[in-house]
C-alpha cells in the first residue's frame, strides 16, 4: 500500500467562491444553449448575482441544478422569487426533478449547456472567466504549505476537471489529484483513494456529503471537516455529530495536527 499522506478538498465554496461564475455561466447557458424559448426569460433582469441565487446555493449538489434554478429565477411568468423560495426549498430535490419532467429536460443536457457556456467564455476571454472565481487566500496558502511539508493534495469538484484545473493553475496550485463531476460520486472517489493513500482529512462545505462519507464502510474512518466559510445552510452547523468537525478558516493547521 502507498502510505503517502493525502488531504482532500472540495473546490467551489472551499478553495474558491465561484458564485459569480455559476450565475453568469448559468445565465449564458439559458440564453445561448438551453432548448427553451428565450422570449420567456428576462435575461437582463439582474446586473449582479441576485440574492435569491446566493441563498439557494447551499442546497445545490450538481452544476446542472444551477442552470435550472437560474432559468426559474429569470422566467417572465411566475419566476422563482422570495415569495416562492421557501416552498421550493422545503422539497428541493423533488421540485428539481419535477421541473426536469415538466420541461422534458435531462440533467445531462443542462450540465452540457453549462459546460458549453464555460467553453465559450474560456475561448473568448479566459482572464475574465477566471476572475469570476474569488479564492479563499488562507486555503490557497495552506495548500501550498502542506505540499511543501510532504502532504499530497487532492481536489474533488462538481465542476468539470478541465475547468477546475484551469482555475487551480491560475492560483499556482498543482494538486497531485483532481477529480471533476465526470469521476462519479465523492464517496466512490474517496473509497478508491483510500485503498492507496493515507487520507488525513476531507474538507467539504456540504454536510450531507460528509455524512455519506461517514456512512460508508470504506471511508468512515476519514477525518471529516465542514468548512465554516463555505455555502452552508443555517442548520448545517447545529448538532454536528462528533465525527464531523466544524472548521474555521483560521484553524486550517488542524488538518495536519492528527
pLDDT of residue 44: 86
Indicate whether 131 pLDDT > 90. yes
Which residues constitute the domain of residue 145?
5-17+134-256
Give the separation between CA 176 and CA 213, rounded to whole angstroms. 21
Place of cell 475547468: 163
pLDDT of residue 257: 77
> 106, 131, 156 — which closes off a domain?
131
Indicate whether 204 pLDDT > 80. yes
**Same domain flag for 44 and 70:** yes
pLDDT of residue 258: 60
Residue 167, H or E segment = helix 161-170
> 103, 131, 159 — which closes off a domain?
131
Average pLDDT score, the chain: 93
Give the separation between CA 248 and CA 245, rounded to whole angstroms. 10
Nearest to 80 by CA among 42, 59, 110, 52: 52
Q: List helix spans (H) across 11-81.
A: 19-28, 51-56, 63-74
pLDDT in tens, 54-101: 999 999 999 999 999 999 999 999 999 999 999 999 999 999 999 999
In three-state secondary structure terms, 242 is coil
Place of cell 495536527: 257
**Same domain flag for 109 and 143:** no
Indicate whether 38 pLDDT > 70. no
Indicate whether 35 pLDDT > 90. no
**Same domain flag for 102 and 164:** no
Give the separation between CA 135 and CA 174, rounded to whole angstroms. 15
pLDDT of residue 134: 96
**Same domain flag for 78 and 92:** yes
Crossing angle (nearest 10°) for helices 107-131 and 19-28: 120
**37 pLDDT band (50/70/90 cuts)?**
low
pLDDT of residue 29: 95
CA 127, 123, 47, 58 dihedral sign is negative
pTM equals: 0.91
Indicate whether 1 pLDDT > 60. no
CA distance readout (Å), 199 to 34, 76, 100, 109: 40, 48, 37, 34
**Same domain flag for 167 and 215:** yes
Q: Residue 32 has what DSSP assignment?
A: I
**Same domain flag for 209 and 243:** yes
Q: What average pLDDT does range 173-179 have in this prediction? A: 95
Give the separation between CA 32 and CA 113, rounded to whole angstroms. 8
**Same domain flag for 38 and 68:** yes
**Could you give the angle at the alpha carbon of 152 between the alpha carbons of 221 and 175, nearest 5°?**
120
Count of the separate structural domains present in the chain: 2
Amino acid at each position: 500500500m502507498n502510505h503517502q499522506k493525502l488531504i482532500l478538498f472540495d473546490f467551489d465554496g472551499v478553495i474558491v467562491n465561484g458564485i459569480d461564475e455559476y450565475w453568469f455561466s448559468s445565465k449564458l447557458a439559458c440564453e445561448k444553449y438551453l432548448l427553451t424559448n428565450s422570449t420567456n426569460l428576462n435575461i437582463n433582469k439582474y446586473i449582479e448575482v441576485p440574492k435569491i441565487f446566493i441563498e439557494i446555493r447551499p442546497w445545490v449538489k450538481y452544476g446542472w441544478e444551477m442552470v435550472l434554478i437560474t432559468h426559474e429565477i429569470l422566467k417572465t411568468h411566475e419566476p422563482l422569487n422570495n415569495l416562492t423560495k421557501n416552498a421550493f426549498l422545503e422539497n428541493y430535490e423533488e421540485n428539481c426533478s419535477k421541473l426536469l419532467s415538466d420541461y422534458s429536460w435531462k440533467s445531462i443536457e443542462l450540465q452540457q449547456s453549462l459546460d458549453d457556456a464555460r467553453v465559450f467564455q474560456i475561448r473568448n476571454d479566459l482572464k475574465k472567466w477566471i476572475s469570476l472565481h474569488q479564492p479563499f487566500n488562507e486555503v490557497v496558502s495552506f495548500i501550498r504549505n502542506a505540499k511543501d511539508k510532504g502532504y499530497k493534495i487532492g481536489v474533488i469538484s462538481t465542476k468539470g476537471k478541465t475547468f477546475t484545473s484551469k482555475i487551480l493553475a491560475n492560483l499556482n496550485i498543482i494538486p497531485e489529484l483532481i477529480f471533476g463531476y465526470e469521476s462519479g460520486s465523492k464517496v466512490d472517489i474517496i473509497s478508491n483513494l483510500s485503498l492507496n493513500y493515507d487520507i488525513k482529512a476531507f474538507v467539504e462545505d456540504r454536510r450531507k456529503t460528509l455524512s455519506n462519507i461517514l456512512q460508508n464502510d470504506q471511508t468512515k474512518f476519514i477525518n471529516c471537516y465542514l468548512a465554516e466559510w463555505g455555502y452552508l445552510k443555517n442548520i448545517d452547523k447545529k448538532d454536528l455529530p462528533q465525527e464531523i468537525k466544524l472548521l474555521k478558516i483560521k484553524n486550517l493547521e488542524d488538518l495536519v495536527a492528527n
